[in-house]
Amino acid sequence: MNNSMWLGGVALIILVGGALWYMNDNAASSSLGTYAYQCENGSEFTMQPSSNMNTITLKAGSQGMFTGTATLTKAAGEDARYEGTASGNSIVFIGAGEEVQLMVSGERTNLATVCNLKPNAGMAPWNWGDAGEGGGTKPDVALVVTESIQGKWQSTDDAKFVREFRPDDTVKDYYDNEVVSEGLWVAFEKGINAPEVPFPLDDNAVYIQMTMTGTQADTLNFRVAKLTPEELQLVYLDRGGVLTFKAVK
């Protein structure tokens, strides 16, 4: 064998070996596709699972609960729960079937919502499985509302009226910056920790009950008609009507 043939063989081995290394290395770091989600509160993001499913990468859309990109790590002992941080906020992602629960919390943020896959004719929908199949737990919608509603909300009909839902289960009503009524509040669903109420409960609905003292000493019941980071609508079940609020930043 002459030198040129020997050198050519070595070069071929190096090239093939390098190609195999490159392919294997990229296969280990590749993902299983990118999936777009639309949330009930109007936010959007994409989710990209790693090939070994140990991490997922979330990228916020133009309407997002967080900014930029976040890589979440699979929680120990959980099939479809991932945790991480983005822009100083903690992020929890829980999958159940084709639906996910997304929670973002931090010093100035405390939001939670349920999200669903955007239709995509070119890709099969991603399914996390359900509890019976060893997948994630079904999102607790009342918990999502409990997390998302916390904070101050100003009436769009009367700017002097502000209602504050606190994380310690207390609620305060303000009028012209003065506390006029306060008490306890709870979010609930039909058949799930529901208190006694004088009206039938609908499936797939979340309710708020407030037990108040002060100028409005009464038990008040509402159905949550809309809840986004900017807007809250409560249907007043005891007396009728809709109360609309905007978030106080």
Contact 54, 28 (CB under 8 A): no
Domain boundary among 95, 110, 139: 139
The region of weakest confidence among 17-21, 208-212, 217-221 is 17-21
Residue with tokens 């009226």: 161
Regarding whether 177 and 133 lie in a shared domain, the answer is no
Nearest of 78, 69, 80, 86 to residue 34 by alpha carbon? 69
pLDDT tens digits along 90-126: 899 998 888 899 988 876 666 788 999 998 877 777 8
Domain total of the chain: 2
pLDDT tens digits along 14-72: 233 333 333 333 333 445 788 999 998 889 999 988 877 889 999 998 887 888 999 99
Predicted TM-score of the model (pTM):
0.50
Regarding whether 184 and 135 lie in a shared domain, the answer is no
Asked whether residue 235 is assigned to any structural domain, the reply reads yes
Exposure b/e, 3-22, CB count within 10 A at least 16 = b: eeeeeeeeeeeeeeeeeeee
Domain boundary among 139, 166, 183: 139
Domain boundary among 83, 118, 139: 139
Residue 94 is part of which domain span? Answer: 35-139
The yes-or-no verdict on residue 139 having pLDDT over 60 is no
Q: Check residue 130 and give its pLDDT.
A: 62
The yes-or-no verdict on residue 224 having pLDDT over 70 is yes
Q: How far is CA 166 from CA 102, 129, 175, 183, 188, in A?
A: 20, 34, 17, 10, 16
Regarding whether 160 and 109 lie in a shared domain, the answer is no
What mean pLDDT is reported for the chain?
79
* Residue 196 token pair: 């006694």
Asked whether residue 101 is assigned to any structural domain, the reply reads yes
Neighbouring-strand partners of residue 211:
184, 219
DSSP conformational letter for 131: G
**Per mean pLDDT, which of 7-16, 108-117, 140-149, 203-212 is the most reliable?**
203-212
Contact 220, 240 (CB under 8 A): no
Neighbouring-strand partners of residue 152:
164
The region of weakest confidence among 23-32, 82-91, 145-154, 194-203 is 23-32
Asked whether residue 17 is assigned to any structural domain, the reply reads no
How far is C-alpha 33 from the geometric centre of its chain's CA atoms? 21
Exposure b/e, 128-138, CB count within 10 A at least 16 = b: bebeeeebbee
Regarding whether 227 and 184 lie in a shared domain, the answer is yes
